[in-house]
Structure 1
Amino acid sequence: MMGSRAGAALALAAGGLMAAGCGGGAAEPSGGEESAPHGHVEGAREAAEPQWRLVLADTAAGSLHTLDPATEKAARVGEAAGAEEAATDGRFAYFSSGGSTTVLDSGAWTVDHGDHVHYYTAEPAVLGEVATGSGLRAAADKAVSALVSDAGIRFLDRAALADGEVVRTAADLGGAAALPYGERLVVAGRDGSVRVFDRSGASAAAAIAEDCPDPRGQAVTRRGAVIGCSDGALVVTGEGGSLKAEKIAYPDEGADPVRSFHHRPGAPVLAGAAGDGGVWVLDVAAGEWTLLDTGPAAAVSAAGEQMPVLVLGEDGRLSAYDPATGERTAQNRLMDAETAGASPAPSLTVDTARAYVNDPAADAVYEVDYNDDLRLARTFDLAFSPDLMVETGW
């Protein structure tokens, strides 16, 4: 069973914004709508800080599990036969078999009201399946979740998901990348065009003037929505019908474009592998790319502004880089090269306090303090193989 080998359990640091002006404690069901506390969600418990959960799949067994770092408890929560890929939009986790995707409500999420934030937990549950392809990616706003794969885009009604149902909304708009953003759906087509739709799928504005050849990778940050293109990154900002876009072109470094972005949720610094030679870092606020000379990477992620970029090398070493100087500032060997180079590759997720790396060969997940020279804070020993991993609660 699971244990902690790295000393006493550490309480997760409270990250993000505290819920100013909202009651702390649990939001328990009340006798009537008028007596329900502000932010009340039926059947959910409210907390004063982010409630991170790791969602994991044992691909051989076809089983899905959650791991709560705060309690160190793991639980089997469902099945996903033939799962090959995983993605998340913050609350819901998606496990693709290449032909269909199993949708899991992880039971951990955040609601941002602008001037304050609510954090919730509920019981996790498998909700159903939706037809998709390979290359799964996910993104969402309050109303719509978008699943992108080589089979097209599937838009899901987020309110229905919260009620336990998988309901498609909007048509398959035929794009290669899609982001729900600014109360609109921003869709990059395989022909390089970028169109804007309302949440029902109806055309909502003129096409964005900037093109995006060979769309690849997508992310939503506090500084705008980002779609990766073969010639740079397209950053979309604004609200409603006043969306605008700006291209941040790659510098002439001779490295391959990124194929996916990885970052701490919401943070405007993104990282992605630059082929076999290094890692691209995109600072959305500064409008700049930086190429890190890291060598081949099995997994990458960026912790945020003025924070390290983390790279799990194919040799099994986790390294931290200063994106401003390109200098490696810390390293820690977590696994051997055979494990780091396996397929599927290990995942690297970053939240406000910790980074997590799954090690299927050791039936373990490593918790790393990236603010303390990549100190191994805890090792979670599991009774299953964590082949796929995403983090929810944001």
Structure 2
Amino acid sequence: MICGSTGGVRRRASAAAAATGVLLTLLSGCGASGSGDGSAGAGPTPHGHVEGAEETAEPQWRLILAAARGGRIHSLDPATGRSVPVGEAAGLTAMRTDGRHAYLTTGDAQRVVDTGVWTVDHGDHVHYYRAPARTVGDLRAAGTPEVAGDLAVTTLAAGGAVRVLDRKALDDGKIQEPARVEAAVAVPYAGHLLAASDGTGHVAVHDREGHRISQLPEPCPDPRGQAITRRGAVLGCSDGALLVTGEDGRFAAEKIPYPGEVPAGERALEFRHRPGSNVLAAAAGDKGAWVLDIAARTWKRVGSVPAVAVNAVGEDSPVLLLGRDGVLRSYDPGTGKQEADVKLLKDTGSLKERPSPVIQVDTMRAYVNDPAGNAVHEIDYNDDLRKARSFKLPFAPAHMVETGW
């Protein structure tokens, strides 16, 4: 149950909640329900109330889209199919997100856009919010960063430096940078920052102000890629993945090695997964995709075609791979067996260009942007990759992230 909002729940959201077990029926501890617009009414402030935002009964996914080299940034609501402009970013070359904010690489700067949708997970219950989208501001920074975030901070790692942004300030429409750390990869985790050095492979634990506290005993050589799961934080290393767990300021690290020697061109460089889930996917160069199961502590290679984009839905759910032939394929993450395929992109010439299409996944659907077709395709990954809908757009959506997490 969602504390605070009492609106009706769409069938899709209800199915997602039942399937994932994310929402528990816990009325205790929830205050009086707010008014329909999410504002505080007479009496005590509702539990979970956020000033200026509307609390909703279901997740507020949004697909943030832009053409190559930028211009107007659009927000597409998959529930309604409506697309609205939410900002501008001329010269756009890449887009990343921390779940609420979009980080737009424009030459020597990062433009931050608050997309106005987000989730607050209290563990035993979840709150969903929406508010007007707005441009927060610009950061002077070169390169496309790896972005990771939690409720307290967001980290932007690029060029050997990690910028730490205050999340509350971002939510309030301001950019504040309380810390900067020298590292190749960083991830906020358990109230701290885990930062992996490119030269030494050492993984240091910092507080949120950037002060070094300790160093993990297990190194991570040539760190590339990171993820946050419910079982710990993951850093990609040349010899596998480093799983870090922590509680009350104490951290432990465990290496999950690759199954044998892996050429440099086939190692995992960027992990993709449904946020919070424990199954990760990464392209394996021209040899399909890697599946990293955190619970089982195993790597598995699936497929054999060069991957343009990959993503993992979660435990006992498909791993998705979009090949250079324009075919979307799904694989069983446990056995590696291919389960379904569908020819999705007709014009495959653009797949050799950058940026390439991506696969975004939520609890019920996957989305693939199709720049050559001026469309975004919605895929039911639980129904043999059935194409549920295609959203036609008046521009070529070269960039896409999904927010609302």
- TM-score norm. by structure 1 comes to 0.93
Residue from 377, 384, 396 that aligns with 1:385 = 396
Aligned to 1:180: 188
Superposition deviation, residue 339 in structure 1: 3.0
Report the 3-state secondary structure (helix = DSSP H, G, I; strand = E; otherwise coil) of the residue aligned with 1:247.
strand
Superposition deviation, residue 349 in structure 1: 0.6
Give ranges in structure 1 of 5+ residues lacking alignment: 1-9
Per-residue CA shift, 1:256-279, capped at 9, x if unaligned? 211100001110100001111121
Residues of 1 paired with 2:73 and 2:158: CA distance? 21
Aligned to 1:326: 336
Residues of 1 paired with 2:379 and 2:190: CA distance? 34
Q: Write the mapping of 1:1-394 to structure 2, written as runs, cut at 5 A.
A: 12-14=12-14, 15-16=16-17, 17-18=22-23, 20-21=26-27, 22=30, 23=33, 26=36, 28-30=38-40, 35-150=44-159, 152-170=161-179, 172-191=180-199, 192-204=201-213, 206-252=214-260, 254-255=262-263, 256-336=266-346, 337-394=348-405
Residues of 1 paired with 2:286 and 2:71: CA distance? 31
Report the 3-state secondary structure (helix = DSSP H, G, I; strand = E; otherwise coil) of the residue aligned with 1:301.
strand
Which stretch shifts more, 235-244 or 371-380?
A: 235-244
Report the 3-state secondary structure (helix = DSSP H, G, I; strand = E; otherwise coil) of the residue aligned with 1:159.
helix
Residues of 2 paired with 1:12 and 1:74: CA distance? 20
Superposition deviation, residue 25 in structure 1: 7.2
Q: Contact between 2:86 and 2:134, CA under 8 Å: does it hold in 1?
A: yes
Which stretch shifts more, 321-330 or 206-215?
A: 321-330
Residues of 2 paired with 1:292 and 1:168: CA distance? 40
Residues of 1 paired with 2:158 and 2:79: CA distance? 33
Q: Contact between 2:34 and 2:40, CA under 8 Å: does it hold in 1?
A: no
Identity %: 51
* RMSD (Å), alpha carbons: 1.7
Aligned to 2:3: none
Q: Compare relative contact order (CA 8 Å, sep 6+) and give the higher one, 1 or 2.
A: 1
Per-residue CA shift, 1:165-204, capped at 9, x if unaligned? 111111x211000101000011001120100011111123
Superposition deviation, residue 75 in structure 1: 0.5
Letter in 2 for 1:310: L
Give ranges in structure 2 of 5+ residues lacking alignment: 1-9
Q: Contact between 2:162 and 2:184, CA under 8 Å: does it hold in 1?
A: yes
Letter in 2 for 1:301: N
Residues of 2 paired with 1:242 and 1:217: CA distance? 23
Superposition deviation, residue 27 in structure 1: 5.6
Q: Contact between 1:182 and 1:243, CA under 8 Å: does it hold in 2?
A: no
Residues of 2 paired with 1:355 and 1:247: CA distance? 30
Q: Contact between 1:134 and 1:151, CA under 8 Å: does it hold in 2?
A: no
Equivalent pairs counted in the alignment come to 382
Q: Contact between 1:137 and 1:149, CA under 8 Å: does it hold in 2?
A: yes
CA pair 193-310 structure 1, distance change in 2 beyond 3 A = same
Residues of 2 paired with 1:27 and 1:118: CA distance? 14
Superposition deviation, residue 91 in structure 1: 0.8
Letter in 1 for 2:389: R
- TM-score norm. by structure 2 comes to 0.90
Residues of 2 paired with 1:141 and 1:374: CA distance? 31
Residues of 1 paired with 2:392 and 2:295: CA distance? 39
Per-residue CA shift, 1:22-44, capped at 9, x if unaligned? 44874632367x62210000111
